Structure 1
Amino acid sequence: MHRMAKEVVQRATRLMLPKWSACEGDLQFPHRVAMLAPGGTQEVRLNDAQIRPDVRVIAVADQALLPALYVEIKVSHGVDWEKRQRVIDAGYTMMEIDLADVGDEVLQDEEAFANQVLDCPGNRNWVHISSAPFLARMLDQEVVQITSHKVQEKRVPTKRGNTLILQTQDYLAYTAAREDPVLDRAELADTWANGQRVDGLGNPLPYAPGLYTKAYVPGGGWHGGGHYKTHLRPIIQDTPENQQKVLRLL
């Protein structure tokens, strides 16, 4: 069954993508049908993450491109937490199709089996989405990508003739309306909690590499008690109810 499913995905021209949610349901999009480009590859070895996904495809959904979507087929063993964390750490986009409950009758019917692999919305989930432009288009909102811990100094003259020294951090801003990201700088807060510099949401600063959305913090701004303009909320994918476990941030 495992080999048959991989061949079905490799030959396919379309694939139902799972629904997705993050930040306890604040961010979400429904199932989508993606068109697949020719040339899917089986048993791709990703040496840097010690992962060998079942199939790699090129997918397009709602004009959003995934140049490398990795597909895992579950028959007896699914993607465990250790493997999922390696996928997150390496920055891959991966989904899993669960065929553990497919019976012999479906297995012997080529059309019914292909439907289970390609079109059934209830047997698939996202392991991880790392593509900021894909998420921005799916969510129809801005998604921020931090790529480095590096910070810079920014000097701002005040009305009293003093100089305010801020720390800034570069980020890429993706939106559904733009093909290319905009390079911008986050102005970091100057507050501390438990010996750690934090923003208005309590996130450690500088921000760790990963995907974020911008957040509003009451009292923020140039003179808001040390909180400056940018506060980012990390995008943490929700997990099924029976698999609640906190993942490390990138």
Structure 2
Amino acid sequence: MNHIQGSLLYEGKAKRVFACENPNRVLIEFKNDATAFNAKKRSEIEGKGRLNCKISSALFELLESNGIPTHFLELHSETLMFAEKINVIPLEVVIRNIATGSLCRETPINEGTILTPPLLEFYYKDDKLGDPILTERRLKLLDLISPSQKEEVENITKRSNTILKEYFDSLDLLLVDFKLEFGLNSLGKLVIADEISPDNCRFWDKTNSDPKGRILDKDRFRQDLGGVIDAYEEILKRIEKDLSHAS
């Protein structure tokens, strides 16, 4: 009996995590809350939770089918998914294919520069500290993961990037960059956690040359561009169209 919503274990900016009867499972609820700049900017956007849940489920299944380990188990409803209970590692792993955002604000690299090879970066996951970027020595000093785990995280992230970049290219979307989080399951296995959605990925529409109009991710909220739900709906529509053709 895993289909019972138990006690609230954790509530973050965009999700709630509930206990299940099976102690190795959790039920994750995707909320409609939208945040940016480490929650300094907040809003509620009707329908966002449903879209992120369905998009994440589809992308987790895509990665799993390609041998990438994730915490995802199954979709329960439009806003709820079952996942493995994990011990979250307080790291954000960002991989960048095209320069934008903080990389351009903090360096002289021009917006839109293709990064070859993709740039992989580690950040310490802590809103109070502003999720600071970690150098190799800082990462070693914090001792959050072992050297072998760090290598595994990097390999999984790079493989995921290859799979997702090719997949979205087939949907006429550029995967500009994205963030992954990781954790250890009950067997001590390293898996991708959290979500993969327009909340933590940047997507540009290849069919739209307008620098603002092509944005189909949370940058629409960050930059007050409007049309957040329309953008997320477009991502899901293209994924579901692909899935319908595949079946």
TM range (shorter): under 0.3
User: By percentage of residues, which structure has more helix?
Assistant: 2
More strand by share: 1
More relative contact order in 1 or in 2 (CA 8 Å, sep 6+)? Answer: 2
Please say which structure displays the higher CA radius of gyration: 1
Q: TM-score, normalised by structure 1?
A: 0.24
